[in-house]
Structure 1
């Protein structure tokens, strides 16, 4: 498979979608000097190539009470703990992201909670699988 699956126009379309996925094909076309129909065809192709995997929304967790934001590095106690830990993490609503990592720790998680107490409860549950290191988010820069 070629390393260059998209050209400059595709890349510009992709950048427009990354900035605002609600833009119409016509609006994107005005920015990249194409018809909306041509933009739609290029977007369909990028979806078929799995360059575009889906669409998302930016949101403000604080507006719905999720004021505590933390990054947690997880150190599992044993190899047997991985499957049960992953089942726990995938199902828990407080876990926003989980990544298997190399280097320090086994997994990296982004966790959101409504309070310090809720975060503390989560961390107590996490001790059933291994240990952790936590960093609380003070503010988001980008």
Structure 2
């Protein structure tokens, strides 16, 4: 991966809907060259996909919570979280807790219900997100070659 590939990655992270023509102009290459580079980055699975960022508030899921578990049944908890509609992400981690689930839910009551339903898998500890920052662009220039 060279400097042009890194610049392509940076631009696509900022705007995945950019046309190949505009992208080519931004990196000073022809459209066919850029299309080939993007295809190669996709084949190498450096680019894993293109996503729409949606407003959880507009989808009536304004409450974001991180629930940490000291699990007694990791497989069952993982299965429960993977199938629960409010769970956005679930991580198995090393340390004092064994799982962290990120939820987006519509009410404190639905969060409480989730917590109650997971107690059979271990001890949950819940943190409600008050504000957040999400890094949108990974600097590909810091990546090792």
Normalising by structure 1, what TM-score?
0.90
RMSD over aligned Cα atoms: 1.0
Instruction: Give the deviation of 1:141 after TM superposition.
Output: 3.0
Match of 1:76 among 71, 74, 93: 71
**Match in the other structure for 2:99:** 107
Instruction: Give the deviation of 1:104 after TM superposition.
Output: 2.3
Structure 1: gaps spanning 5 or more residues: 1-5
**C-alpha offsets along residues 1-32 of structure 1, whole Å, 9 cap, x if unaligned?**
xxxxx111001001111111111111111111
Instruction: Give the deviation of 1:72 after TM superposition.
Output: 1.2
Q: Secondary structure at the match of 1:21?
A: coil
Tell me if 1:137 matches 2:137.
Answer: no
Instruction: Output the CA distance in 1 between the equivalents of 2:13 and 2:51.
Output: 9
Normalising by structure 2, what TM-score?
0.88
Instruction: Output the CA distance in 2 between the equivalents of 1:65 and 1:12.
Output: 36
Q: Structure with the greater relative contact order (CA < 8 A, sep ≥ 6): 1 or 2?
A: 2
**Match in the other structure for 1:37:** 32
Q: Secondary structure at the match of 1:127?
A: helix
